[in-house]
Amino acid sequence: MSEDIDGGVETSAPIWAAFGDLMSVLVGAFVLILVSVIGVQLELSSKLEQEVKQRQAETQRRKTLEQALAGPLAAGRVTLVNGRIGISGNVLFALNSAQLQPEGRALLKSLAGPLSAYLRASDQILMVSGFTDDQRLREGNRRFADNWELSAQRALTVTRTLIDEGVPASSVFAAAFGSEQPVSPNSDEPGRAKNRRVEIAPVPRPSGAAAAEKSGA
């Protein structure tokens, strides 16, 4: 009878050993899963913290730019819509002219510093866009063939002025739209005056240009 008991003990021992091994495997797997989950949470937390900091920095840059625009905005010389700075053509240029007026030059000079700081902290460039009303140029105007040329030259004038005032040449470019994108009806002079404008807007930097600038090419 003692042999039966001893035999029973010997047959049950491997079962408990196997159960213990199984529990060890399960505990190990649980630990690995727990470590993985904690790692993912830490990574997400770090990314969230970085995103919050980036948003705060972006907000601060926009605030600085808005502060620089506060005076001109209050005076109605510029507008700020969805990050686009619109400058009245009457402030910058005389009618049918691309020669910058003193008031317009002073305004651009005041914007160059905040715009440069904004560009340094973001992977963006500035698009300077020229727009006109739909009126044909006066007879005898030999400098510009049409509104396309006038809007292009005005955009170039503003672009070069910003560069002269410290905005990096690699971070600004000019575009011309003529009379094709009015913001007001051209049926009266107040409406046409609103359409004669220059807009300065931050846009994403082309990926190839960003890589070339970082490599010093």
* Chain segment 92-148, per-residue pLDDT in tens: 999 889 999 999 999 999 889 888 888 887 778 999 999 999 998 876 566 888 999
- pLDDT of 161 higher than 90: yes
- pLDDT of 214 higher than 60: no
Q: Which CATH architecture has domain 59-206?
A: 2-Layer Sandwich (3.30)
pTM of the model: 0.68
What pLDDT, on the 0 to 100 scale, is given for residue 11?
52
- Greater pLDDT, 5 or 95: 95
- pLDDT of 47 higher than 70: yes
Average pLDDT, whole number, for the chain?
82
What pLDDT, on the 0 to 100 scale, is given for residue 44?
81
Residue 128 pairs in a beta bridge with 174, 200
Query: What are the domain boundaries of the chain?
Result: 1-46, 59-206
Contact 96, 142 (CB under 8 A): no
- Greater pLDDT, 14 or 85: 85
Q: Which amino acid appears at position 165 of this protein?
A: E
Q: How confident is the model at residue 60 (pLDDT cuts 50, 70, 90)?
A: confident
| Those residues with Cβ within 8 angstroms of residue 91's Cβ, 6 or more apart along the chain or in another chain | 77, 78, 101, 103, 104, 107
What pLDDT, on the 0 to 100 scale, is given for residue 181?
92
> Between β-strands 197-204 and 78-81, what pairing exists: parallel, antiparallel or unpaired?
unpaired
Please tell me the distance from the alpha carbon of residue 96 to that of residue 119, in angstroms, as a whole number: 31
- Greater pLDDT, 189 or 2: 189
What pLDDT, on the 0 to 100 scale, is given for residue 37?
84
